[in-house]
Chain A
Amino acid sequence: MSAARHDRSTIGGRRRWPGAGLLLVLYPAAWRRRYGDELDALILDMAAGDGTAPWRVRADLIGSAARLRLLGDGDPGRRIRGGASLVLWAWAVFVLAGAVVAKTSEHWQQALPRHGVGDAQAAFDALTVAAIVCAVLVAAGIAVALPAAARFLRDGGWWLVRARALIAVALTAAVVPALVAIGFWAHGLTDAQRNGHDALYGAAVVSWAALGAACLLAWTAVATRIARELRCRRGVLTTQALIAAVVAIAMAAMTVAMLVWWVIVAQRDPAPSGGSIAAYLSALVPQLAFAAVLMVVATAIAALGAVRADAALTEL
């Protein structure tokens, strides 16, 4: 390569505006590899007398890069599958958060006065119903892609996902017997021991939960790797884009319902002296705070995936 080719400070003998490089970094790497040099030259052509790009040009470059980052680029089918995969990842993270909420909130009704349960129960029921609806929709989204996935695996795709699938199978093989063992162990313990007074049992449960989370994420990785390669019919893509949007909306609703439930329970805390579950919930419980953050992050990821999929749907 010639030395001139390495010199990024000039283009065709004209001095390059240094800010162009910073703005181009905002674009996706693959897009930048294809169009970056041409866009760089165009920025120089549009530069003001002092060689800098006008503010209008900078704003346009930032807006265009944001659009590409948000909506993706390329084949609409691939973008829909990518958006749906993002929603699937978000759902996996959301399930982990939901498991934390479910564990933290066990028997919470018993700790509130009878008249104080109503609103909180409504919020909790909304959370539960939305979770079931979401689970069914996610399963439906996977089911409609199964024929294409089977074709892909038969046609040699198995070798592409083999490593991930073997990891997922190994984790599943560890999770199931571990669950059975913990179940037997729990039968021999008192309520107090099961609820934090047996450090060894507690550590085992936390370890099993971590293994379960790894297992869920491993299967999600397998599913999204397969989804990247699928050739789906228009009807399947349309269904997946619509499911992605509904799941993202339901996840937002569940996040709101969980926060509302938490606020109501905290307000009606009947036992400031502590000792009840409600008092426990009324504080900024680390587990619930962690779950709430996970839910918000997952909802944001799902929203991004749904927007991507639905924007691509118009170009299908």
Chain B
Amino acid sequence: MSPNRVRANDPTLLILTSLAAGDKHGYALLQDIERFAGVTLGPGTLYGAISRLEQRGLIEPAGEAGRRRPYRLTTSGAETLAETLEELRAIAEEGDRRLARRDAPSATTPAGARAVGRAALGPAASGGAA
């Protein structure tokens, strides 16, 4: 596992996603995350995540030291975000495929086999001429 990997429910992923749209300071990050994810992070949680991301080189200060210092995504941070989103996309697609198979009629039971056969042969098999 990559040391820079972040998890779907991790505030760090929300921060990386927010910074992908541009540099932001703490309060702007909180507002943006609440807007696009519906998640209200606390200030301690936010800065705990910011410090971890900065130490892992995924974000960096974008301006002078001050009380409302903005942060920006680094190249490594953008790559990590892309990898994480790709992993999440793969999981989401796999979940969709499995749900679709679960909802589809099964060919392993007689009733299911008939339904699958009818579906394969089209409307004519069910005697449903238009």
Considering the complex, which residues of chain A in the window 270-316 have a beta carbon less than 8 Å from any beta carbon of chain B?
315-316
Q: Are the C-beta atoms of B47 and A38 separated by less than 8 Å? A: yes
> What residues of B have a CB within 8 angstroms of the CB of A45 in the complex?
26-27
> What residues of A have a CB within 8 angstroms of the CB of B67 in the complex?
11-12, 37-38, 40-41
- The binding surface of chain B is classed by DSSP as helix
CB distance from A180 to the nearest CB of B (A): 52
> What residues of A have a CB within 8 angstroms of the CB of B26 in the complex?
38-39, 41-42, 45
Q: Are the C-beta atoms of B66 and A73 separated by less than 8 Å? A: no
Additional 6 contacts, C-beta under 8 A, given A41-B68, A42-B46, A64-B47: A39-B47, A42-B26, A45-B27, A46-B27, A68-B48, A76-B3
Nearest 10 Cβ contacts at the A-B interface: A60-B42, A64-B44, A41-B67, A42-B26, A45-B27, A61-B44, A42-B43, A60-B44, A64-B48, A39-B47
Nearest A residue to B4 via CB reads A315
A151 on the interface (CB 8 Å rule)?
no
Known: A45-B27, A46-B27, A60-B42. A316 touches B3 (CB 8 A): yes
> What residues of A have a CB within 8 angstroms of the CB of B47 in the complex?
35, 38-39, 42, 64
> What residues of A have a CB within 8 angstroms of the CB of B42 in the complex?
56-57, 59-61, 63-64
Which of B27, B44, B55 contacts A74 (CB under 8 A)?
B55
How many chain A residues sit at the interface, stated as a range, is 20 to 34
Q: Which residues of B contact A (CB under 8 A)?
A: 3, 25-27, 30, 42-48, 50-52, 55, 66-69
How far apart are the CA atoms of A57 and B45 in the complex, in Å?
10
Q: Are the C-beta atoms of A35 and B51 separated by less than 8 Å? A: yes
A67 on the interface (CB 8 Å rule)?
yes
> What residues of B have a CB within 8 angstroms of the CB of A315 in the complex?
3
Considering the complex, which residues of chain A in the window 29-84 have a beta carbon less than 8 Å from any beta carbon of chain B?
31, 34-35, 37-43, 45-46, 56-57, 59-65, 67-68, 73-76
